[in-house]
Amino acid sequence: MSDLGLALRQVRYTNAAFWRNPASAFFTFAFPLMFLVIFTAIFGNETITLFGRELSTATFYVGAIATFSIITATYTNLAISVSFARDLGVLKRIRGTPLPSWAFMFGRIAHAILVAFLLVVIVVAFGALFYGAEIPTDTLPAFLVTIAVGAASFSALGLAITAVIPNADASPAVVNASILPLLFISDIFIPIQDPSAWYVTVAKLFPPYHFAKAMQAATFSPSGSGFRGEDLLIVGAWGVAGV
């Protein structure tokens, strides 16, 4: 079998292993919806101005939690799962099999990106059904490209962070400590009220902020294509650095 065939088979195997662990699969999809319900319950009656439009906070959180879902499915899940695979000796044993190392990693990354896309579909559908959120049909190409760039870049960063994770037991703490604070200051968990605040300046140094802005443009932009080129380039550059 060719290397490409082995890589595609690895994607299928990783996907099957994921769905055969129902507890893990359930919480992977339940957590974003739980955050969406909690944040909209707390802040849903407020309004914010985005791209010159008045949006309900509930609508804002549909896009924000979609962004969070992509980061969780790629950066967080890949970093933790690969750390455990490394400590269990799986990565070392792969080198003694006909499966190329790149094919093994391709299977993990492709599966993470597919889960990210599925999470976005679920979150957007849930938001449209229960909160009247708009489905970004007019800016759909920008929406899909932004998801793809973000998912690929955060997958690379998730693999990169494993270099500083000392062992599998420490992986949840290290990964969450590296991403959760940024989610709070990057217009994801809490809408930014003061764009000139010091924490916004800090947030702009990291990719979650720029990914959030690109997703907002692709989701809520009232005119134009919805592409936010500068932010996508910054997210992509971080992905290249992760590689």
Tens digit of pLDDT for each residue in 128-164? 998 888 888 888 999 999 999 999 999 999 999 999 9
Q: What's the pTM? A: 0.92
d(CA 134, CA 116): 20
Tokens 């909209």 label which residue?
A: 40
d(CA 69, CA 73): 6
Q: What is the share, in percent, of the chain residues with pLDDT greater than 90? A: 60
- Residue 59 vs residues 106, 135, 148, 164, 240: alpha-carbon distances, Å: 34, 10, 22, 37, 32
Beta bridge partners of 54: 49
Selection from 158, 160, 150 nearest residue 236 by Cα = 150
Other beta carbons less than 10 A from residue 163's beta carbon: 6
The residue type at 90: V
Name the 3-class secondary structure at 30: helix
Least confident of 52-56, 119-123, 215-219: 52-56
Other beta carbons less than 10 A from residue 10's beta carbon: 22
Q: What is the pLDDT of residues 32-76, one digit of tens each?
A: 999 999 988 888 677 888 877 788 888 889 999 999 999 999 999
The answer to whether 232 touches 146, Cβ cutoff 8 Å, is yes
Least confident of 21-25, 50-54, 163-167: 50-54
pLDDT of residue 74: 95
pLDDT of residue 56: 83
